[in-house]
Amino acid sequence: MDLRLDILPADDTTPAEVARLTDDVRAALERAPAIDRVETPHQAAPGGAKGLLDEAGSLLLGLPAGAVTGVLDLVKSIVTRPGAPQVELKITRDGVEAKFNPRTLPPDQLATLVGRVQAGLGHGAAG
C-alpha cells in the first residue's frame, strides 16, 4: 500500500522545525523493518527554474496494510515527544485524506483511522 504522510505546521511552528521533524521521522521509518519504501515527493521549481524541489514536510511510504498501526504509532511517538514543535499530520491514500492532531487523537480514534487507511480512507478529518 502507498501512503503520503504530510507533517503540517500548527500554531507558531516554523518551516525549519517541520523540516527537522520530517528528517527525524524519515530516519526512523527508514530503520523500521515493516516499511518497504520511504521517499520524498518532489515538485517543479518555481518561476520556470529548472529542476525539482523536495516537498517540505512530506514523505511517500510503501508498506503492507498490516503495518499501518505500527507506522502511525512510530510517527506519533516522534512528533509528540517533549519539546517537539506543534504539528498536524495528514495521511493521503488514493487521493483521499485524513488530517489529525497527533497530540489529541485518542487511541480509539487512532484505531478507527487505521481501519479507514487500510480500507482506503474516506470520511474526512479525524479528531
User: Who contacts 73 (Cβ-Cβ below 8 Å, separation ≥6)?
Assistant: 110
List own/partner pairs for 21-27 with CB under 8 A and 24 or more apart. 21/78, 21/79, 21/84, 21/85, 21/87, 22/56, 22/57, 22/58, 22/59, 24/78, 25/59, 25/75, 25/78, 25/79, 26/59
The percentage of the chain sitting over the pLDDT mark of 90, rounded to a whole number, equals 47
Residue 127 lies in a domain: no
Q: What's the pLDDT tens digit per position in 43-60?
A: 554 566 555 345 568 898
Residue 50 lies in a domain: yes
Q: Whole-model pTM?
A: 0.82
Beta-bridge mates of residue 100: 89
Name which of 92, 125, 89 is nearest 109 in CA terms.
125
Residue 25 lies in a domain: yes
Q: What's the pLDDT tens digit per position in 82-120?
A: 999 999 999 988 877 888 999 998 888 888 877 877 777
Residue 85 lies in a domain: yes
At 68, which CATH number?
Answer: 3.30.70
Residue 124 lies in a domain: no
Distance CA 83, CA 99 (A): 22
Residue 12 lies in a domain: yes
Residue 108 lies in a domain: yes
Asked if the model's pLDDT at residue 127 lies above 60, the reply is: no
Range of the domain at 71: 2-119
Residue 125 lies in a domain: no
Number of folded domains in the chain?
Answer: 1
